[in-house]
Amino acid sequence: MEIWDGDHLSELALSCLADAQDVIDPVARVHAESCASCMMRIGEMALESHDVGVALRLGREMSRFRRDGKVHRFPTLLIASAATVAVACGLPTVVDTLPRAVTWAFAAPRIVPVVTTSLVALVKSFSVGPSGAVVSLVSTFTLALLGYAVARASSQHGASR
Amino acid sequence: MFFAMAAPMDAFSREAAALRPLLRAVAASVLRSSPDHPDVDDAVSETMRRALEGRARLRAGEPLRGWIVGIAKHVALDTARSRTRALKRQPSDASPDSTRDITDRIPDSKPSPFDRAARTEEMARLESVLHELPENQREAVVSFFIEGLSYVEIGKKLDVPIGTVATWILRGRRTLAQNLRRD
């Protein structure tokens, strides 16, 4: 290893001393402690070494944290459940109104009164009897809960990215 | 006091004391003063005091050198700030040219959110630069800076002479440091 560069220590020797490695000839060590110029260079290199070391360790910890961190997936299952509940609850009404809807499609000139009538019929179908009201309430509550869960899971998914 | 001084030094104290010349170099470099300057002496003594009192904070496996150099850097920066404040209080006695350099070089110790964001980007960039280093340099740099191995241990691990290890670490560190300074 080249230790001297003229009257001063070589870059390599300074680097070893800056990293506090006991691999340099004692004569070079004595010179470093008595030469202000070499001492300053060692100080600069030690600071550089410290900064690089800190940055590398932090970077490594950050990437490990990212790798080990919990990954929040998009709540596909929740959305599918919500959609299933919505379809199941709306199915009786849809089945009931589908033939009429087809008829309505062919009755374009009379569309406005027909839409009004069907809306009235739809409201009536939900409000008739206690079972209709219970189904309506339960489905609304379930959908609201699922909506909340989806919003919560989505915000976690966004934050984890 | 006598008994405290006369007490036998433990391994930590011995290892820390062996780093005194390095700490002197770091303090002199930060303060831009001669290694014999009283401020440098004070900074080294204060560093040793803080290191000995705060030794419990040194995490297992963390190299003492890096930890204690970090303390020396902060102590020297504190000294430089005190110097600046003292010179501001006595503007007529101060020579502006000698202080400007120190004042300009002292960063604010509290990072702003922008600093933290920039630091995060810097880490990511450094990690990618590390992966771009030649394999032998990268392995030496990782062994030294992250695993905390000595040059001798790295030489044995990679089966190369010490001089080669020193060269790889010097080159690798220089590349990484240039990247850290690129901003």
At A145, give phi and psi (nearest 5°).
-65, -45
Give me the residue from A20, A36, A48 closest to B177, CB to CB: A48
B121-149: average pLDDT: 89
Contacts of B139 (CB under 8 A, 6+ apart): B158
Decide if B70 and A54 are in contact by the 8 Å CB cutoff.
Answer: yes
B88-116: average pLDDT: 59
User: Residue B53 — very low, low, confident or very high, per pLDDT cuts 50/70/90?
Assistant: very high
Structure tokens at B103: 């004042």
Name the 3-class secondary structure at B131.
helix
DSSP state, B145? Answer: I
How far is it, in rounded angstroms, from Cα B148 to Cα B62?
Answer: 7
Structure tokens at B63: 């190299």
Cα–Cα–Cα angle for A37, A42, A44, rounded to 5 degrees: 95
| Amino acid in the structure at residue B176 | L
Sign of the Cα torsion B49, A48, B22, A20 reads positive
Chain A residues closer than 8 Å to B146 by CB: 56-57, 60
ipTM above 0.85, yes or no: no
pLDDT of residue B19: 93
Chain A residues closer than 8 Å to B176 by CB: 52, 55-56
B82-105: average pLDDT: 64
Domain B12-89 sits in CATH 1.10.1740: yes
> A52: number of CA atoms within 13 Å, CB side?
27
Query: What angle do the packed helices B11-18 and B38-53 form, to 10 degrees?
Result: 160
DSSP state, A98? Answer: H
Strand extents, DSSP E, chain A:
4-5, 8-9
pLDDT in tens, A106-144: 766 667 777 778 888 877 776 666 666 777 788 888 999
Q: Report the length, in residues, of chain A.
A: 161
- Chain A: give the shortest CA distance to residue B163, in Å: 5
Mutate to test the interface with A, among B47, B65, B131, B179 (most CBs of A within 10 A): B65
pLDDT of residue B133: 92
pLDDT of residue A115: 76
| Amino acid in the structure at residue B5 | M
Decide if A56 and B126 are in contact by the 8 Å CB cutoff.
Answer: yes
CA dist list (Å): A59 to A92, A95, A105, B92, B146: 58, 60, 64, 46, 10
How far is it, in rounded angstroms, from Cα A48 to Cα B28?
Answer: 14
Report CA dihedral (A28, A31, A36, A42) to the nearest 10 degrees. 20
CB B28 within 8 A of CB B34: yes
Burial call A127-139: b when 16+ CB within 10 Å, e when fewer: eeeeeeeeeeeee
Cβ within 8 Å of A, B 64-83? 65-66, 69-70, 73
How far is it, in rounded angstroms, from Cα A78 to Cα A91?
Answer: 20
Decide if B69 and A57 are in contact by the 8 Å CB cutoff.
Answer: no
Within its chain, how far is the Cα of B50 from the centroid? 15
Structure tokens at B113: 């959110």
How far is it, in rounded angstroms, from Cα B138 to Cα A55?
Answer: 15
Question: B113-181: which CATH number, 1.10.10.10, 3.40.50.10860, 3.40.50.150, 3.60.15.10?
Answer: 1.10.10.10
Among chain A, residues having any CB pair with chain B shorter than 8 Å are: 1, 11-12, 15-21, 23, 29, 32-33, 36, 39-40, 42-44, 46-60, 62-63
Domain spans in chain B, listed from the N-terminal domain onward: 12-89, 113-181
Region at B63 (left for phi over 0; alpha for psi -120 to 50; beta for the rest): beta
Percent of chain B with pLDDT over 90: 52
Q: Can you tell me which residue has the tokens 């280093």?
A: B133
pLDDT of residue B160: 94
Chain A residues closer than 8 Å to B168 by CB: none
B78 vs A93, higher pLDDT: B78
- Chain B: give the shortest CA distance to residue A60, in Å: 8
pTM for the structure as a whole: 0.65
How far is it, in rounded angstroms, from Cα A125 to Cα B47?
Answer: 83
The answer to whether residue B179 neighbours chain A at the CB level (below 8 Å) is no
User: Residue A57 — very low, low, confident or very high, per pLDDT cuts 50/70/90?
Assistant: confident
Name the 3-class secondary structure at B60.
coil
Nearest to A72 by CA among A9, A149, A155, A131: A155
